[in-house]
Every structure is written in C-alpha cells, then in structure tokens.
Amino acid sequence: MNIRVTAQTQTASALANFRRQQTNIARVQDQISTGLRITTASDGPADYVAINQAKSTSRRSVTYAQTLNDAATDLNTSVSALLEGTNALVRAKQIAQEGVDQTLDPNSRQALATEVDSLIERMVQAGNVQSDGKYLFGGTAVETPPFVVTSLTPGGQPTAVSYTGADTRARGLISPNQTVDTKHVGSQVFQKSGADAFAALINLRDTLRDSSLSDGQRSAALTQQVGAVDAARDGLSEITGEQAAALAGIEAIRFRVSDLKLSADTRSSELESTDYAEAVVKLREQDNAFQATLAISARLFQTSLIDFLR
C-alpha cells in the first residue's frame, strides 16, 4: 500500500474497478439472457470447437434420418409391390394346376387364360411401381417405366415384356460410408436368369389358350410351367427378403442415428448452455461487489480536511 494516496489514484482505481465489475456483470447477464455460456470462440476456444463439431454431428444425423426415411419409404413401397407380384404368381400357380385338369372345357380354360392376362397386367404394374414419382425397379433410371410391353397379340394382350431400366441399383447414403440399395434393377428381380415372371405368365396364358395342343401335351406343358412360376416366385421372394432385411437394418440404423443425435445435442448443450443456478449466483455476487464499490467510492470523495476548516 502506498503511503500517499492522491485523488487521481483514487479516481483511477475506482474507475478501473467500476469497469471490471460492469464487464463481469454484463458477461453474466448475457449468459443468462441468451441461455448460452459460449457464443464466440473467444468465450472458450476449445469448447467452441467441440460445440460446433457436436452440432455438425447433430445436423448430419438429421440428414441421415431424412435419407433413412426416404429409403424406408422406397423399400416399403417396393416390398408391397413385390408381395403383389408374389400373390399374382401364387394365383398363377393355382390356375396352372387347375388347367392341368383334363376334364376342363375350353371355355373354362379361356376364362383362366383371361385371368392370367390380368395377372400379367398386375405384374407389369408391380414392376413399374413408383414412389414419390420415381420408378422403383428401374435401378438408377428412375424417370422412365422400367418394364415395357414390346409386342402384343392381335387381341391387344402382351406377348413380350422388356426391361428398359438401368443396370445399376440406386443407393442412398444413410451414414458415413454406408449406403442402402433403394431401387433395384428390375431385370434382376422380375427377369432373373431362369426365373422370368413375365415370360412364365405369358407362357402359361398361351398354353391355356393354345387349342392345338392335345390334353396330354397341355398337361405336360402346364406342369412344366408350374415350375417356371415357382422359380419366378422364388426370385421375387429372394428380393423381397433382401429388401425386408434392408428395412430391418434401416430401423436399427434409425435408432443408432437418433441416439447419435441425442448424444451430440446433449454434448453441445452441456458445453454451450448456461448453468442458470451458477450464473444467477454469480450475478448476485457481482452485483453486491459492484454496489459495495459504488458505496465506498462515494464515501472516499465525501470528506476531506476542508470539511473541518472554519
């Protein structure tokens, strides 16, 4: 402590104290009113970087949740369409088995053939199913129908269905370095090697309609076609299984992404948010100190020797 304390020393010291305390109060007030302990890097450089990395993780999780939703929507629609196709093939197998019955009259066979026509139509619809305006079985060619009827009978019924989609599956990014196949290559679903669903149905119909065949020939042919329909159904079931598994996987990832987001949000909040109890106590403390400084400063300048001179 200096022996001589002058007015200038007192003024300078009081001013410095006022400024420091007001700065402290303003900082705590800011923390309380914004709810944030750290708003700029200089509030805590290391924490600032950690907060922003956590926020970035959270933001990415939101996007992955969105891509997961997109993928799940596509796969759900796709699985429904495959089930529809499988149902058509189940019915086709029943029709083939009914057609084997040699006692069946031509009109009944004709009726069965007509039903198969509608099954072909259902199968083409299943192959050309869309989600959000995009074809799901054209691979990456999402804008054009993947299955096109390339030739018709004189009666306007399809005799050949061709795949015009792309040769690669469309994929979505669902977490860093992890993709999910959302749009399969239709030819590898409906027209797999030895398991062409369209050909199986078209052959079945043509056999039922073919009046030139003897009953024995027809039965033999239909029995063979039951095998073809089964093979096609197995092909569809295989992809259905693959897609259902992908859906289950998506659910698991969705939980993981949601956990990741929660933990990132928690981390950024822990680092960034104001601890109100602490901040309010600090504010009180600073406020008291400020008031004390004001009071003592006012006293300092109140009296001097002059007051005692007469």
Interface residue with other proteins, options 194, 210, 241, 278 (CB under 8 A): 194
Distance CA 18, CA 280 (A): 20
For residue 52, what are its two tokens?
Answer: 């922003």
Residues between 153 and 172 with contacts to other proteins, criterion CB under 8 A: 162-163, 166-168, 170-172
Using DSSP, state whether 199 is helix, strand or coil.
helix
**Cβ proximity to other proteins, 112 vs 187, nearer residue:** 187
- Check: CB of residue 245 under 8 Å from CB of residue 79: no
- Confirm or reject binding of residue 188 to other proteins (CB under 8 A): yes
Nearer Cβ to other proteins (91/192)? 192
Instruction: Write out the two tokens for 221.
Output: 């042919």
Q: Which CB, 130 or 263, lies closer to other proteins? A: 130
Three-state DSSP class for residue 211: coil
74 binds other proteins, rule: CB under 8 A? yes
- DSSP letter at 267? H
Contact call for residue 48 and other proteins (CB under 8 A): yes
Contact between 85 and other proteins per CB under 8 A: no
DSSP 3-state of 145: coil
* Under 8 Å between Cβ of 125 and 197: no
Q: Is residue 3 part of the contact set for other proteins (CB under 8 A)?
A: yes
Euclidean distance between CA atoms 282 and 149, whole angstroms: 78
What residues line the site for other proteins (CB under 8 A)? 2-9, 11-13, 16, 39-46, 48-49, 52-53, 55-56, 59-60, 62-64, 66-67, 70-71, 74, 132, 134, 138-143, 162-163, 166-168, 170-173, 176-177, 179, 182-183, 185, 187-188, 191-194, 196, 304-306, 309
